[in-house]
Structure 1
Amino acid sequence: MFSLLKSLARAGADLDAHRNRYIINCNVFALIVIATSLPYPFIYLYLKVDIDPLLLSGSVVFLFSYSMVIFLNFLRVHTLAKLLFFATAVCQLFGICLVFGNESGLHQFFYAAFVGVFFVVDRHQKILLFPALLTLAAEYLLIQYINAYIDPIARLSPDTARTLNYISSGAVFTLLGAQCLHFYWSSLRGEIDLETARHQSDKLLLNILPETIADELKRNGTVEPVEHDLVTVVFTDFVGFTASSETRNPSDLLRQLDDCFSAFDAIIEKYNLEKLKTIGDAYMFAGGVPVDLKDNAARCVMAAKEIIAFVDSRRTEDPRFWQIRIGVHTGRLVAGVIGRKKFIYDVWGDTVNTASRLEAAGEPGKINTSTETYKLIKDKFSCLYRGEIAVKGKGPLAMYFVD
């Protein structure tokens, strides 16, 4: 039974989240009105209300119309469904109030109908909102005027009128309560879904940008470039990757590359460093951005040593596996986010270019550093001076291998 009601409530709700909520509201309210209206013919019979059976049979027509509302939503004719819902409610309210008068308390259903309009008309149909409210208000005033001067069609004894009034009051409170409860749970689910979506969005953003940069971007819509005085930049590049890509299965190649980069991610996270980007088989990270880190050079070298150890372990399993070169340089640079789409946190400056040149001038399985980095790590690591080596675009540079 519950699954059937759930299916009826969601009939035709396959659009965006906003419109789906109002379609479901329309279906649920139609079901609530049907459930509220069904007992009334039996109540009239039980109370022995003096009424023409032909008028009583009108309830069947209204119940059929409310059922058609759900069917029209199922057919995706949503605007017509809501118009039918509104027209049926207007006719039903006018009819029962004209037949039974104010003493029956049936005019109280106008209150539930007035509130229900806000739950059924979505923002794409807002042109219907004020006409619907004005029509209900005008009809309510007209009924009050008619009942003030014309006797109701059905003759009710004082006791019957009082009982019917009690029942109507209870039904209206039930209807309003059901409307509000449905709205409450829908809003609660919406808030939970929104919070979940926000959490997923934040998580995705933090996979792309550092936390402080992501916060600034969300807060201001832009990220101001920041100059950093002491940042260590690391470039890694696989030796033999290009050659193996010509002979190996592309899927296997990418899977192995993903395994390596995932391991690198874990290593730099361990040392509180910042992954910047990957370009093909090259992996770039830095220490000291976006937050200053005094021992960033040592942390970067420790991470680089672990990366080499990881690659060596893979080569132990498979001698054909790639080797890796690593270049490290420390200096000043500018970091930030540029552009408006596909954001990336990046760094610019001669420090970046030098680190890239050091990687290219290195050897497989070695960490090649500049003098600037060497001065910061020489007390923690044993280093081998390589001499001055000519570098494209920069001339001779003093280089050191980290043992």
Structure 2
Amino acid sequence: MAAVPYIYIIISYSSLLVFYHFKRFDAFTFTQLVMLLVMPFFMQWIIGGFQASSGVAFWAILSPVGALMILGTRQSTPWFILFGVLAVLSWWLNSLFSMHALPIPSDIRDAFFAINMTGVSGILYIVMRYFQSQKAKVLEALAIEKSRSEQLLRSILPDSVAQRLHEAQGTRIADSHEAVTILFADIVNFTQISATLSPTQVVDMLNHVFSRFDQLATQYGVEKIKTIGDAYMVIAGAPNPRHDHAQVIADMALAMPALLREVSHEIGQSLEMRIGINSGAVVAGIIGNTRFSYDLWGDAVNFASRMEHTGLPNQIQVSASTYALLNQDYVFEPRNGVEIKGKGVVNTYWLKSKR
């Protein structure tokens, strides 16, 4: 009986040396699990059954628990079945073992019952508490990463679209909007300006300008669609319809020149912009599976871009469709006979102020 712990120590150190030499963790794990499973039952049989050994076989439960922690759920099942088989075998043969029970005083047996029960339960509690704390840390880390990913998604997509994309799980998102207003703004002579600056200075300048425009877009409740080089694009009326889509775009456009003058003063670089506005119907949504973005398609988008391209520095050029929505509340100057690619000669208007 006394030799059993020494055998356990010899096998343990031998398996550690094998593991150190061959780096085979699976062999080391298997050896330890076998000893944890077999030796407590072997001790119980030698001492004389369950009562005489003070239930020392309780320690064998650490074998399937260890297999569960190290090998996983599926691979731990055979170890638990083996534990059950040995437990049933010990119960069935207990009368045979008890016939050769050692004459151990009852107070010592009772003391070892307490030691075995508290020892096994204490180890199990500590192990499960440790894994529960690790589980809580993992769940907390996952929640933080999920929050970050959702914030990132909502920073590049409108909230309603981000929510739909999250629920759709890869389904194409495209909606038709019959009444929207689109604004394009472009820095005048950007190529010449950028030629006098380093690449870092160009990026810093654009970031300074467009960050202030982003604040303006948030202030007026419009959706920034994208920046294309030195061009800035926003829309009102999509993805969430609103009856005042033309008004909020007009108000933002009127605020942009004054804001650009402030930025010019801050960075010490004279900047001017052309702004074009058009109203109409578009299709808006997300296509593709990688590096997707919320975008717009339709003739109204192209015409808004033409309004910007054919405009003049520090002027806001609007189409006839936008003028029809705003002429009662805003001041305009007509600009007749503008050549628009694909449209011919059309009448446009300069937006000057709000009445």
TM bracket (short chain): 0.7 to 0.9
1:65–1:84 Cα contact (<8 Å) kept? no
Change (3 A) 1:288 1:112: same
The 8 Å contact of residues 62 and 92 in structure 1, kept in 2 or not, is answered as no
RMSD: 2.8
- Pairs within 5 Å for 1:2-401: 52=2, 54-58=3-7, 60-61=9-10, 68=16, 79-80=26-27, 82-100=29-47, 101-103=49-51, 104-122=54-72, 126=74, 128-145=75-92, 147-151=94-98, 155-221=103-169, 222-317=171-266, 320-401=269-350
The answer as to whether partners of 2:40 and 2:58 remain within 8 angstroms in 1 is no
* Structure 2 unaligned blocks of 5 or more: none
Are 2:36 and 2:62, in contact at CA under 8 Å, matched by a contact in 1? Answer: no
- The 3-state SS of whatever aligns with 1:332 is strand
Distance 2:321 2:172 in 1: 29
Closer, same or farther in 2 for the Cα pair 1:130/1:370, shift >3 Å? same
Contact 1:65–1:85 at 8 Å: present in 2 too?
no
Query: In structure 1, how many angstroms separate the alpha carbons of the residues matched to 2:50 and 2:94?
Result: 7
Counterpart Cα distance in 2 of 1:81 and 1:322: 72
Q: Aligned-pair distance for 1:230?
A: 0.8
2:294, 2:151 → 1: CA distance? 16
Unpaired stretches in structure 1, ≥5 consecutive residues: 1-50
SS of the residue 1:402 aligns to: strand
Distance 2:46 2:332 in 1: 101
Q: CA deviation at 1:143?
A: 4.1
TM-superposed CA distance for 1:319, in Å, is: 5.7
Runs of 4+ in 1 over 6 A off after TM superposition: none
CA contact (8 A) 1:118 1:129 kept: yes
Deviation at 1:321, TM superposition (A): 3.5
Look up the equivalent residue of 2:70 and give its one-letter code. Answer: V
Identify if the C-alpha distance between structure 1 residues 59 and 363 changes in structure 2 by more than 3 Å, giving closer, same or farther. Answer: same
Q: Greater shift after overlay, 184-193 or 286-295?
A: 184-193
Any conservation in 1 of the 2:33–2:66 contact (CA below 8 Å)?
no
Q: Could you tell me the percent identity over the aligned residues? A: 27
Q: 1:91, CA displacement in angstroms?
A: 4.4
**Contact 1:238/1:323, CA 8 A, preserved across alignment:** yes
Letter of the 1:129 counterpart: S
Return the alpha-carbon distance in structure 1 between the equivalents of residues 325 and 23 of structure 2: 69
- 3-state DSSP of counterpart to 1:161: helix
Q: Larger deviation: 332-341 or 112-121?
A: 112-121
Work out whether residues 63 and 79 of structure 2, in 8 Å CA contact, stay in contact via their aligned partners in 1.
Answer: no
Q: What letter matches 2:84 in structure 1?
A: A
Distance 1:231 1:76, change over 3 A: farther
Measured in 2, the distance between the counterparts of 1:319 and 1:338 equals 40
For residues 238-264 of structure 1, what are the alpha-carbon distances to aligned partners after superposition, in whole Å with 9 as ceiling and x for unaligned? 112222333311011111111212111
For these two proteins, the number of residue pairs brought into alignment is 346
CA change 1:321–1:88 in 2 (3 A) is farther
SS in 2 for 1:383: strand
The 10-residue stretch of structure 1 (173-182 or 56-65) with the greater mean CA deviation from structure 2: 56-65
Question: What SS does the aligned partner of 1:107 have?
Answer: helix
SS at match of 1:225: strand
Q: Counterpart amino acid of 1:303? A: M
- Deviation by residue 1:360-397 (Cα, 9 ceiling, x = unmatched): 01111111111111222223332221113011111122
**Cα deviation 1:34-77 (Å, max 9, x = unaligned):** xxxxxxxxxxxxxxxxx63x4454464477589x59x969x986
Deviation at 1:347, TM superposition (A): 1.0
